[in-house]
Amino acid sequence: MADILFYLAAILAGAAFLLTLGRFLKGPTAADRVVAFDVLTVISITLIVLSALAAEREIYLDVALVYALLSFLGVIATAHYLEGRF
């Protein structure tokens, strides 16, 4: 049962990634693209955590944490740029 839920979570995360990638490429404004990029990073972090669980490697969780921190800083910097604060 746990394996089925794991595969279902991976499939749903992959589908969400593809749908969000479409919004990122199509987004009519820069703000839409920034939000889509932030969602893409969250989904990527989810996929990294799922791969850490599948491979039973705790080091991937550290990678996901660092990626989350860098992603947060990148989105904040981009938001400031779009507001014209730079």
Chain segment 26-68, per-residue pLDDT in tens:
989 888 898 999 999 999 999 999 999 999 999 999 999 999 9
CA–CA–CA angle 13, 61, 21 (5° rounding): 30
Per-domain boundaries in the chain: 2-83
Higher pLDDT, 2 or 66: 66
Sign of dihedral through CA atoms 26, 32, 35, 38? positive
Output the pLDDT for position 30: 86
Look up residue 50 and give its two tokens: 């799922």
Q: Residue holding tokens 């491979």?
A: 55
| This model's pTM is above 0.75 | yes
